[in-house]
Structure 1
Amino acid sequence: MRAPLGRLVALRIVLFAALAMLAQLVAVLVEYGSDPEYLSLLALEQETDALATGLVSAGTRLSYQLPPDLAGRYGTEASGYVARVRTASGVVLFSHCDADCIEHFLPLELNPPTFWLRVLSPGYPLSFAGGRIIERGDQRIFFEIAMRGDTQNVVWEVLGDEVLDHMVLPMSLTLIFVLGATLISIRAALAPVTAAAEQAERLDPLSPDARLEQAGMPREIAQLAGAVNRSYARTRELMEAQKLFTSAIAHEIRTPLAVIRLELERIDDPAARRTLGELDELTHFVEQLVTLARLEASDRSGFTPVALDEIGRDMVATLAPFVYARGGRIAFEETDNPGVPGNAALLKDAIRNLIENAVRHGGPGVSIVVRTDDGPGIAVIDDGRGFDPAAGDPHDAPGHYRRAGGLGIGLEIIRRIAALHGGRLEITRVAPRGTQARLAFAREPLTPAR
């Protein structure tokens, strides 16, 4: 399964935003790199702002101390960078000068302009001299610098600040808002899809009116829901046709089987007796087909509270002669009479199938216990031959098994009855030998019928 749509979209937005930022970075570097004079102007502004942090006010008196992070640049001889800080009246607060000061700085007696820049040599590395006035309170301080060769790569600091201030921060804020708006929009747009998926999970395929509600859905999602509803309708039509076919075949076979049995009973021959046994199996199979056809036509609209203790007690009393006649034993263990909403006749059919299955395939002298629990559930437990889940028939559906001699449809009937009641059939091995087949139902607040 792929990642959620919101995550995929977010990752793609981030990817394309990163590509856009990379492209813009290349464009900025190309644009700025083609104009070294503009970079000199930006370097002058950046360096004078950094130097201005060294101004110290003591009342109306100003003093200056070179910031430590600039000492390697403007506090070292022959560094290629010189600076001078003075008042407008010509009082020098700081000077790191050499011959470049005399050659390129403005005379002290000259009233300085607000800003000036002179390129000493065109191109790279940057070489320029310039100055600007920075006001501190009511005083105007004039900062002058000269740079020859840019040995400490001030130009890259300038480019880094420009990229951060004018590209990374604005685009990051834009990306955050775009991501947020996109994810909120996707979540709002997919809310009907999520609701439809949850509704589809709750659809009961056995219900004749199972469908997705299309009211209030966007058009595209409503089209998908409509396609699902039409698919359900076609599936129901196929199921109805299958039910009709199964029921018709089962009813048509009943009469010929009865006639064949009457004829075989008149023949006094061991082969005829063996054939009668096989015919009984086939008759039982046909009866199960009829039960399955009747089950497929059932729904939950007529369900009423059913007491499981009463179901178990009735079926043990009804089938006790059948069990005793085949050398087995049967008993019933009740609990606190748990109840479930259901169809009593169908639940009795399920228990009957489980008991008959235990008698037929549990072996001679099998002992059977029918037990209810407050799960709620009802189980048929025997001490017969048991079964090996790993040795199932490869032609059976996943999770099915057949004991020796079984035709396999009985358990399918029981599973269908359990599913119709919102439950499941659980089959487990019982140590040291035997099998437990339990109908487990969902817990619901019911007052069981008594």
Structure 2
Amino acid sequence: MSRNRPTLGTIVAKRIAFFAVLAMLVQLAVVISDYYWNTGELSRLYVEQETQRLSEGIFVDRDTVRYQLPQTIRDRYRQDGAGYLARIRSANGTLIFESCDPACEDRFLPVDIDRPDFWLRSLTSGKPLTLVGGRAFFIAGQRFLIDVATLGDPQEVVSDVLWNEIIEHLVVPMSILLILVLGATLLSVRQALGPVRAAAEAADQIDPMDARSHLKFDEMPREVAHLAIAVNRAFERVAELMTSQKTLTSGIAHEIRTPLAAMKLELGHIDHPRARLVEADLDDLVRFVSQLTSLAHLESFDHGAFETVDLIEVSTSAVEQVAPWVYENLHSVELIKDVDSALVRGVPSLLRDAVRNLIENAVRHTPERTHIVVRVGSHLIEVEDRRMAAVDQTVREAETDSLGIGLKIIGRIAEIHRGKLRRSTSASGSTFTLTFRP
């Protein structure tokens, strides 16, 4: 679901683009309104644009001046009386180009006066534009005087003037501003979210049972850092809960074991077969309480206690501890090492308890003279019981039901170490395998 959601950069980019377009539309309306109703400014722009276009056809080759009407305005100034007039003279009055009617001399400034660099006169007010004007240009060191006139603007050149003004003063600057603002914003968002992205990736790997787990918020923006601080506080509360749960389970175990030990001591003074049976039941009850306490401790275990552990050393220690008890119960045990070392991250005491519990389960739930094989490989420990006779399906199901909480404890130890407990059966017995991540 999170992958289908748009990124913050996408959301910001869409919002900026939307409001930029909205601002451009508003500004476009303002520009069009301002220029369209301001006839004087529109007339000035008309003269500047038309004279500029006409000047592009002037070519100076040393002392020779040639003129070619630009293609974009050729149709406009080749037809006399079409509503558009133009005349180009050099500074000494030499005529270079002319597209006029007989009234040109009455409309344009006389040749024998000192011409200004720019002049404009409206013949009629309002629209369509009816005006005359001129402008001076310096090309190749020579001064040229260009005069233009429009009588009613039949080709709506004023629209072209407006559009060029919009492009020059609105579209181009706003586009540059949008690109710069959008790029700067996206870059800022990316840089600001870099620590957040790293924290999100770290959060996927966080172990809630590790009291040292926390998110780094030093480089995060203040608003996002509050969320990281809240998550760290939640982990602190989990750590406090783990501590209180350990204290509670330890107290329960102590309170229960004490009266059980007193009962067993009193039963020792009774010389009767039934007293021995009760003692055996009490031993089972003590072991069951111990298992419950161990399981409760595992549920609140702190993963911060992990260290590098050699599975061979752990298995060897567990076999040495339980071997005398195994032989007392008329079983045998063997340790096989498939590798020289098998290093994993974990807690030695928990792994040792897991191996010892697997061996004890194999002894308790198999007939006499069963050979128990503990095999250590790369990132795995196998405990196999090899019985003298084949085991039928009914016996196998009964043994599975009787394993109960012991296997839950071993499975929980495997989960704490990010591993798995698997059980397989064969004609000769059962094999329990603890596998760990590399």
Q: Do they superpose with TM above 0.5?
A: yes
| 1:169 equivalenced with 2:163 (yes/no) | no
Partners of 2:409 and 2:131 lie apart in 1 by 93
**How many angstroms apart in 2 are the aligned matches of 1:229 and 1:206?**
13
* Matches of 1:41 and 1:192, distance apart in 2: 56
The range that moved more, 246-255 or 46-55, is 246-255
Using the TM superposition, give the Cα deviation of residue 42 of structure 1 relative to its aligned residue in structure 2, in angstroms: 0.7
Where does residue 448 of structure 1 map in the other structure? none
The correspondence for 2:238, drawn from 235, 240, 252, is 235
| Counterpart residue number, 2:340 | 336
How far the C-alpha of 1:359 sits from its partner, in A, is: 9.1
Q: Within the alignment, does 1:44 sit opposite 2:47 as a pair?
A: yes
CA RMSD after TM alignment: 4.9
Consecutive unaligned residues of structure 1, counting only runs of 5 or more, are 387-402, 443-450
Describe the superposition over 1:393-444 as per-residue Cα deviations: whole angstroms up to 9, x where unpaired.
Answer: xxxxxxxxxx76665674465445553xxx41236798999987443245xx
Deviation at 1:55?
Answer: 1.0
Whether contact under 8 Å (1:370, 1:379) holds in the other structure is yes
Report the Cα offset of residue 86 of structure 1. Answer: 1.9
Query: Of 420, 423, 439, which aligns to 2:435?
Result: 439
Please name the residue that 2:396 is paired with. Answer: none
| Pair 1:350-2:344 in alignment | no
Q: C-alpha offsets along residues 179-202 of structure 1, whole Å, 9 cap, x if unaligned?
A: 454445555655665676577666
Structure 2 CA distance, aligned partners of 1:429 and 1:153?
Answer: 90
Distance in structure 1 (CA, Å) of the matches to 2:361 and 2:74: 97
2:89–2:146 Cα contact (<8 Å) kept: yes
CA 79–331 in structure 1, closer or farther in 2 if over 3 Å, else same: farther
Tell me the distance in 2 between the aligned counterparts of 1:432 and 1:67.
98
Paired residue for 1:424, among 418, 425, 437?
418
The reply to whether residue 30 of structure 1 matches residue 24 of structure 2 is no
Name stretches of at least 5 consecutive residues in structure 2 with no aligned partner: 386-390, 394-399
In 1, Cα distance between the equivalents of 2:179 and 2:200?
Answer: 30
Aligned 8 A contact 1:316 1:332 in 2: no
| Equivalent-residue separation in structure 2 for 1:131 and 1:28 (angstroms) | 25
Could you tell me how far apart the structure 2 residues matched to 1:368 and 1:147 are?
Answer: 112
Contact 2:354 2:413 in 1 (8 A): no
Question: Which is higher, the Rg of structure 1 or of structure 2?
Answer: 2
Partners of 2:151 and 2:362 in 1: CA distance? 102
AA in 2 matched with 1:424: R
Query: 2:420 is matched by which residue type in structure 1?
Result: E
State the distance in 2 between where 1:30 and 1:230 align: 59
**Residue identity in the other structure for 1:101:** C
Partner of 1:391: none
Deviation at 1:339, TM superposition (A): 1.9
Amino acid at match of 1:439: T
Alignment partner of 1:286 out of 261, 275, 289: 289
| 1:60 alignment counterpart | 63
What percentage of aligned pairs have identical amino acids? 42
- TM-score scaled by length of structure 1: 0.70
Deviation at 1:31, TM superposition (A): 0.9
Q: Secondary structure at the match of 1:424?
A: coil
Q: Which amino acid aligns with 1:72?
A: D
User: Could you tell which deviates more after superposition, 8-17 or 104-113?
Assistant: 104-113
